Structure 1
Amino acid sequence: MSHPRSPAPAVAPAAARHGWVHALVTALACLLSMLGVAALGLWAAGAADLPDGAFPRVVAATVVTSVGGSVELSGSAGDLAGSKGGLTVVPLSVTLTGALVLAAGFLRPLRHRAVAGAGELAGWALRVAVLWLLGLLALALAARQTFSVSLGRSELDDLGELFGVTPRVGFTTDVPLSLFVGLVWCAGVLVLALLVAPGAPLPRRLLRFQQSVRPAAYAMVALLLAYVALGVVVGVVVLLTRGHPAQTLAVLLLGLPNLVWLALTLGLGVTWEGRVDGPFGLPMPHVLDEVLRGPDTATLNLRTLAEHDGRTWWLLVVAAVLVLTAAFLMASRSPTRTRLWQHALHMAVALVLTVLAVCLLGRLSAHFGLSVLGIGDLGGGLSGRLFLRPHLWTALGLAALWGLVTGCLGGLLARGVRRR
């Protein structure tokens, strides 16, 4: 007597579809893409000529700083002299590249699904984060170097050798801090990917939030990427029509989002303050350097920029068009039952958080000094300072106002749009 055949075994668990091998590929793709963009940008900036074979270590340090890691500058100049320096800057072109690659790899095995368990998502994110941190640890340990700095003129070099004043500068990473901030960055990218991607699955308990959060998050990411795309077009035109192609390429590969997202805040009416002194400078556009260079702290906004170049008023027009487009995009992806005041509130909150992130990531600070017996600048121009910081609370208030107005207008424009 034949027995009924037992049912076929169930398909392998979901974790097997995105296990350690896929996590390794995702982490490696993220790190290699960031290293490639950083290396090309630094090569275009002339860093390949750094002494003592420092170029690979500078590339590693650039990737560490791109995720918020801490790189500490150090210096020595013999027994009679001292040097000091500091650097705080996030090369956002490298950051954005890594974030896009990491998010794409994380979301790929989750596509075509509506719901995923919290344990499954947490396990998959944990595998990616662990391998990402191991790669970041290797880069943080490699990002340290010390090399000599020329004093600029032969007689100064001879005098430095006579008195034992040969400046050496170096950099190293704060490994524990860099790993902690890198983990926060990785977690932020993965959470944002789940919030933004229309087809990304969420745990059942969070499904009720996706109708209010996901359209706004999607619209803000689209707004930031639209500015980057516009910056790429302008950068390519500058690259092809004006001089200094290597310098322009370096800016595109290292700091394009720093500039275009700064332009977004300026278009919204935000005021920044800063100063450029000594050998430091802002390579593109030149009008920024003109406004900020001087012995005193300068104010950077649409009015001060327009005093040097009237075309900067177009930043206001571009901001109005793109922010309103983002509000329309948000409203058109929201449920039809969403009220007008809810569109305004969602847009205001989203734009405030976006401007806050831009203001925190876009700040610059750099200084270096060399003195003998605590007095003077031996290098004849080696010392310098650069910083740029926003008026934060004013920026957030303006973002809230823009969000409320454009949210209402976007909701009105989207009333006739057919929604899924």
Structure 2
Amino acid sequence: MSSLSLSRPAVARHGWAQAFGAVLAGLVAMGVVAALGLWAAGAAELPDNAFPRVVAATVVTAVGGTVELSGNAGWLAESDAGLTVIPLSVTLAGALVLAAGFLRPLRHRAVAGAGELAGWAARIAVLWLLALLGLSFAARKTFSLSLGDLGEDALSDLGDLFGISLRVGFTTNVPATAFFGLLWLAGVLVLALLVSRGAPLPGRLLRFQESVRPAAYAMVVLLLAYVGLGVVIGLVVAATRGHPADTFAVILLGMPNLVWLALTIGLGATWNGRVDGPFGLPMPHVLDEVLRGRETAELNLGTLADHDGRVWWLVAVDAVLLLAAAFVMAKRSPARMRSWQHAVHMAVALALTVLMICLVGRIDTHHGLSVLGIGDLGGGLSGELFLRPEVWTAVGLALLWGLLAGFLGGLPARPARHRGQVTEAPPGDGAHGPGR
């Protein structure tokens, strides 16, 4: 064996087998989290063995896919329902596992060609698309419910009289699921390359890594810190206030939905929403109090403080975690980076992060039932829940917070640089090598 071959660094394979392993691991992670969350929420009791289909539908919605609901009771009654919500706990689990699988073969390398990275990502994308198509066709089910299950005795009597039961079903929009699922995958892979300091980049992009990678890493740390804090609070609530199954359902299905919403509210953002009928926001209860019973209510620090003054702690939590994220960003940045540059990088990164939260954190769900041609009957037969952000106000506030936190957080990072990082040498000092 030649000395040349011995000196070459080992390059991990990233062919079809490795791509299959990464996709399978991501799907298993999402399926397990979704199944446990739905089981805690009571979905395992659905009739006609619908539970596996509901798990598949949950995974589809977690990557941006569309699930359509329907229901009817023949000529007696029909239902109208819609659901737009992303279970971000499932999304986060899949993103972390898929990103790890994508990056693993690329470790220990400084540079990779654009063609190599594109080929590796394309293999994953092909298998991911096939998996999405399989999930889309699996996430279809129609099952029967007694009209009495809706809690209305009159409907139960009608159903018993005419021998009619309610048929409820859901299906997926395959083209939309494929498109948004691939878009989600592209975002995960690009973000993985941006965040990981050990991942190789094409030579033409290396000049961007000093400004982009530290900020992207800091934002991921910030979001994960909020999720971790929310999980701890959820476990305390489960242990002290009862209803542990409901709390675990929230943790396993929608914890990022809640804590990232809290992040934006702590920055001063406003969300508009309404809660009507049997729907409700699972935790904390103060959100439900603000939104219920109004045509459209504002959800922000002021309206929440009218019900619970402890909401002002969100501002303090935001300030502490944003300063910590800014410190992490500055510590991973080159030592020559100026304080104003840290501020700009943090502002842009936080604004993009809040924009992402506004896009994925929306909720829009409704259901209604008409009987014998009579429209929405109200009461327990219909309901609506929606929550939408004032996007550009939230993004503007994020820019201001990011500028301030980036500047202040970068100051203590100067004496805490990584070992081996030094400031730029004065003119003339680099002209001579070290003496021997």
TM-score, normalization by structure 2: 0.91
Q: 1:200 to 1:124 in 2, by over 3 A?
A: same
Asked whether the 8 Å contact 2:12–2:106 carries over to 1, the reply is: no
- Aligned counterpart, 1:386: 385
Cα shift at 1:13:
11
> What's the CA shift string for 1:352-397, capped at 9, x where partnerless?
1000000111100100000135435458412100000111111011
Tell me the distance in 2 between the aligned counterparts of 1:233 and 1:83. 39
Tell me the distance in 2 between the aligned counterparts of 1:107 and 1:9. 25
The answer to whether residue 23 in structure 2 is matched with residue 24 in structure 1 is no
- Aligned counterpart, 1:69: 65
Q: Which runs of 4+ in 1 moved over 6 A?
A: 5-16
Alignment of 1:293-332 (within 5 A): 293-332=292-331
Q: Could you tell which deviates more after superposition, 392-401 or 299-308? A: 299-308
Tell me the distance in 2 between the aligned counterparts of 1:354 and 1:320. 16
- Aligned counterpart, 1:405: 404
Match of 1:35 among 10, 31, 37: 31
The answer to whether residue 43 in structure 2 is matched with residue 47 in structure 1 is yes
Q: Matched residue of 2:295: which SS?
A: coil
Asked whether the 8 Å contact 1:15–1:124 carries over to 2, the reply is: no
Match of 1:89 among 82, 85, 92: 85
Cα shift at 1:198:
1.3
Tell me the distance in 2 between the aligned counterparts of 1:16 and 1:334. 28
Alignment of 1:160-239 (within 5 A): 160-162=159-161, 166-239=165-238
Q: Matched residue of 1:199: which SS?
A: coil
Asked whether the 8 Å contact 1:347–1:403 carries over to 2, the reply is: yes
Cα shift at 1:417:
2.5
**Alignment: residue pair count:** 416
Cα shift at 1:148:
2.7
Match of 2:103 among 99, 104, 107: 107
Tell me the distance in 1 between the aligned counterparts of 2:48 and 2:181. 28
Q: 1:268 to 1:30 in 2, by over 3 A?
A: same
Asked whether the 8 Å contact 1:81–1:165 carries over to 2, the reply is: no
Q: Could you tell which deviates more after superposition, 227-236 or 140-149? A: 140-149
- Please tell me the residue identity of whatever aligns with 1:91: P
Tell me the distance in 2 between the aligned counterparts of 1:323 and 1:49. 43
Q: Matched residue of 2:306: which SS?
A: helix
Identity %: 74
RMSD: 2.1
Q: 1:133 to 1:320 in 2, by over 3 A?
A: same
Asked whether the 8 Å contact 1:347–1:407 carries over to 2, the reply is: yes
Q: 1:76 to 1:321 in 2, by over 3 A?
A: same
Q: Matched residue of 1:26: which SS?
A: helix
Tell me the distance in 2 between the aligned counterparts of 1:82 and 1:164. 15
- Please tell me the residue identity of whatever aligns with 1:134: L
Q: 1:367 to 1:327 in 2, by over 3 A?
A: same
Tell me the distance in 1 between the aligned counterparts of 2:15 and 2:9. 10
Q: Matched residue of 1:17: which SS?
A: coil
